[in-house]
Amino acid sequence: MSETRTIEVDYLARVEGEGAMYVRTEGDRVEEVKLSIFEAPRFFEGFLRGRDFREAPDITARICGICPIAYQMGASLAMEDICGITVDGVLQDLRRLAYCGEWIESHALHVFMLHLPDFLGYPDAVTAAKDHPDMVRNGLRIKKIGNAILRLLGGREIHPVNLRVGGFYRAPSPAEVAGLGEDLSWGLEASCEVAEFLATLDYPNLERDYEFVSLVHPDEYPITHGRLGSSSGLDAAIRDYDDIFTEEHVAHSNALHSHRSDSGEPVFMGPLARFALNREHLTPRAAELAERAGLGIACRNPFRSIQVRMIEIVLAFEEALRLVDGYRAAPAEPALPVTPRAGTGFGATEAPRGICYHRYSIDDAGLITDAKIVPPTSVNQPTIEADLRELVQTHLDLPDDELRHHCEVAIRNYDPCISCATHFLDLTVDRK
């Protein structure tokens, strides 16, 4: 009779939100893998309906306290798509600078507080700080610098209030922006040192043939805009998103799962995907560090995602310094005028964890009649489960406690934002 083993984690630690993991094996085969997300859905699409289109950035920012810019920017781009305007020039530079702040603070939180302890052999960052005080202290300062950018551009660092459809409510003065420079220069050098350190660590060996999906752009590492691209040759406009990807409910999760509509296969979004599809657009220091770390033209080991996140922090600091240096005068107006018209619009940006997709319809009065938001964690859930299946299958010889730890680390590779993923659930009431 085959031996049955179950590996369970009732509450995942060091991830945002509430989830659990269940793995069942029979003999030498993995039979069942579930990443269970039991955090209650929050119905954001539902209560966006009937609201003024200009409210969407402020409402969607409340989906997440870690990556609110992703939601504000995606909502703004979709509304601008409907209304036929394009934000460019100085206003676009300010948007990219704000997003650099979000990448810095979000990636730093994950790298230093949530994931690095795994590779240093500690249960948490507090314990790690006893032996590596400078590493944790510098990580907190790096995150604080990202927060300072959000505070300047967004009015506050948690759920910013200064971004709007068409631009900003207030544009900062050149002096205010220049005030970021000293900390940004320190942050760049400190981040490069950490990236060098991460390249010396040992990582579990797991290589899989992912279909990477990210935004792609001909001239820059994509953050605020681009087209849909993939390692399988996908090249599509953002408005084609719903034809390419399908969402569905699964019994064990309050978050929707996404997969390719044509093949039914999962895809991989996030830093590894951006790196693989846009490596030629890395900033100079980031490109040098990637080369020295031996990441190649693409990295397919999800455990090394912490290295790529650190390289993206370096990139964000380089970009922020470039944008700060180029901000010589505030725009004449902080936002473009926007007149509503009936239609459907699409927006997508690269949140720290991957593409954050928005689709809205509004009427002639500017009231939202339909809304759809797809966060990257929803898209990555099936891929995480596939990683777990492969990891367990190739490490069945490990004792349960060690195997459980490997599985938890594998989930943290994706920096899942569970609260973002549970923003929607279909509800059917069958009355008899």
pLDDT of residue 2: 61
pLDDT of residue 37: 74
Euclidean distance between CA atoms 135 and 27, whole angstroms: 43
- Residue 394 in contact with residue 407, Cβ under 8 Å? no
> What residue has token string 């895809």?
267
Euclidean distance between CA atoms 260 and 213, whole angstroms: 11
Whole-model pTM: value is 0.92
Most confident region among 3-17, 21-35, 264-278 by mean pLDDT: 264-278
Q: 284-292 and 181-198 are packed helices; what angle lies between their axes, rounded to 10 degrees?
A: 10
Average pLDDT, the chain: 91
pLDDT of residue 16: 61
Cβ within 8 Å of residue 67, ≥6 positions away: 102, 106, 351, 352, 353, 356, 417, 420
User: What tokens appear for 229 in the block?
Assistant: 């691209």
pLDDT in tens, 165-208: 999 999 999 999 999 999 999 999 999 999 999 999 999 989 99
Bridge partners of residue 373, in order along the sequence: 358
**Residue 427 binned pLDDT confidence (cut-offs 50, 70, 90):** very low
The residue among 102, 85, 112 whose CA lies nearest residue 145 is 102
Q: Is the pLDDT of residue 257 over 90?
A: no
pLDDT of residue 330: 96
- Residue 344 in contact with residue 186, Cβ under 8 Å? no
Cβ within 8 Å of residue 23, ≥6 positions away: 6, 7, 8, 30, 32, 33, 34, 388, 392, 407
CA-CA-CA-CA torsion for 82, 93, 310, 197, nearest 10 degrees? 170
The residue among 330, 331, 319 whose CA lies nearest residue 177 is 330
- Residue 15 in contact with residue 415, Cβ under 8 Å? yes
Domain ranges of the chain: 4-204+326-431
Lowest mean pLDDT among 29-33, 136-140, 239-243, 287-291: 29-33
DSSP letters along 247-265, please? EE--TTBSS-EEEETTT--
pLDDT of residue 425: 35
pLDDT of residue 23: 86
> What residue has token string 């948007």?
95
pLDDT of residue 419: 55
pLDDT in tens, 87-122: 999 999 999 999 999 999 999 999 999 999 999 999
pLDDT of residue 21: 82
Euclidean distance between CA atoms 196 and 151, whole angstroms: 29
pLDDT (average), residues 308-333: 97
At the fourth CATH level, which superfamily is domain 4-204+326-431? Cytochrome-c3 Hydrogenase, chain B (1.10.645.10)
pLDDT in tens, 350-402: 999 999 999 999 999 999 999 999 999 889 999 999 999 999 898 888 888 88
- Residue 357 in contact with residue 377, Cβ under 8 Å? no
Q: Is the pLDDT of residue 137 over 60?
A: yes
pLDDT (average), residues 286-294: 97
